[in-house]
Structure 1
Amino acid sequence: MDFEGIEFPTPPPYKIKMVEFTELPSLEERQKVLREAGYNVFNIPSEKIYIDLLTDSGTSAMSDLQWGALMRGDEAYASARSFFNLQRTIQEIMGFRYVIPVHQGRAAEYLMFRALGLEKGDYALSNQFFDTTRANVEVRGATAVDLVVEDAYDITKEIPFKGNIDLKKVENFLAERGERVKVIVLTITNNSGGGQPVSMENIKKLGEMAKEFKVPFFLDAARFAENAYFIKLREKGFEDKSVKDIAREMFSAADGVLVSAKKDGLVNIGGFIALNDRNLYWRIRQSMVVTEGFPTYGGLAGRDLEALAQGLREVLNERYLQSRIEQVAFLGKLLEKRGIQVLKPCGGHGVYLDGLSFAPHIPREQWPSHAVVCAIYEHS
């Protein structure tokens, strides 16, 4: 492979001391598997997939300290020691007073939107909603509105903060229909837009606008460390600040966070809500028992809480973030060198391909990108 002109990524700050054996199915077997799965890659048994790039959610390898933390898990039903360890960790990193663990991010969304009373005729605003976040808005009859900057829709345009929300559009929407806007959710980094970061300036100005119009403002902070590292790299005035300090500054602009911990929590399951509003906290706390269990475990075992607390501390390691983000950029440049169109600039957790460029003969309504995924599985 030709690496000329491509800078190699920073070596990762860890050693690998365990392997998991995999199989490479034959072409005939892959074709059979695809047919039996109804050409739905979600139905393919994982042991029939040699390299799984379906998602980064919940697929991180945990560290030795996280595996050790599992053994410290306090499995008491109520008020377990492990919850208070997690609570202290989140308070230290994010600065929010109240912490509610949940089994994963979509549970946080469900509980929050229910507590905020979203209903038919209401609106929720975002740069771009993640699919489950949008679904949790719409299942309550409300309307999810994406207001990301227009540049986000040009996959070839390289700008540093392609995940920014269009503040003018937000201001106009609030001026016209602000009384029916129940919440603003800013996704950092913007997963639906290709893992694109949001600038500190954008976060702060949106926070000020939300306060002016008295609308609750939450960060969908599944990849908060990734976003903070991009701010350090790309935003003037932050190059000498630590990722931890940048993250804390981001959080200070918001009323709280909704988090799937399966991303920057570096765990296989879990999530949480963190916020400062005592009344909202108690509404969530009272309603969550029906779906998540007691508020100090939120559908998780004590060992899960311990592993998450450790993961939240480890993800702030700047050498780790540098290595991870540079690996993604390295793969993107290799693909570009071979004439493959990717979304630019590359985000922090994956390279997004332009599926339409592979299959221009397939109409959009026939899902060309899905067809490309099936073809990649079958032939590569």
Structure 2
Amino acid sequence: MTNTAALSRLFEPTSLGALPLANRLVMAPLTRNRAGADGVPQPIMATYYAQRASAGLIIAEAATPNAVGQTYPNIPAIHNEAHVAGWRRVTDAVRAAGGRMFLQLQHGGRVGHPDNSGLTPVAPSPVPLPETIHTPSGRQDSVVPREMTLDDIRATVADFASAARNAVDAGFAGVEVHAANGHLLHQFMARNTNHRTDAYGGSVAGRIRFAVEVVRAVAEAVGPERVGLRISPGNTVNGIEEGDTGSIYPALVEALADTGLAYLHLVTADPDQPLFQRIRKSWPGTLMANPALPWAEPLPADGGKREGERLLAAGADLISLGRAFLANPDLVERLRVDAPLNQVRDRHMMYVGGETGYTDYPTLAGTPELAGARP
């Protein structure tokens, strides 16, 4: 068996502020729809995350900070005591396995449906999602969201701060504010979903204002060293068209550069792109980078290891991987020894509930014929 760990910075111990990390590999947040209908994390989620505790850091899947922010059925939440208690079982299991966890906080905005949350979705402007949305009775047409009032905005900022406090009470080391992938904070930043003419729209400064206020409120609530921010420049998922990507993100980074956040998480990062280089130069703290590995294609044989190493060489500090951790509970060890990887068996199994395609992926220890094998 060839051990490449000594040749790769991915396996170096490091730290996130005062939080020690065993390596630079981060499990990215992955929605898996295994919570109860009420948003309470289920016991199977503790098993799933504990299996992956060898990651330097786990960022747990998106949890909603309030009821109206729910996106799809069986999404976990973090806005009441039952949610806190459910998540505490998860963090206890991961901590017992030697792991560290942050929780992603996500408000869906227009990515929601009354059949999922019981409420009409809210958004910066009454612009509906241009596609159908999954509900308990199947896919349905999206609805026109209600435009948020200034009172709604203030209340939502407060809900994010309260959710962060709940997450810390639930045993998480910190939280990640989700401002990516076409959800509420991203909707405020994009021209095609934000038609406002007040202080939260129009100019770049107006469109980043809500995200900045949310991040600062969360940092004040639990301490900036416990807070990360996720962004996905140029991402068009969920019908987003930013219009001025090259202006929005440098402005956002500059507005938050003095906060002392734990990290900035850049999704589908490409070290050859000028925007990556500009963000790295402007961001004074830890930069977490998620390699651009297309969902429509199989996992590369190395699970993204080569791209992760390229990003580290270009200035990233931590590397987040998604599908590779989903299908490989022992991903860190597999990458360390260049062992073959499990492929995701069926994308649809990601969201159907139960053990299949969730907690039943084999480890190297469970498949001795692979021990010592190379791709």
Q: Same fold (TM over 0.5)?
A: no
Whichever of the two has the greater Rg, that structure is 1
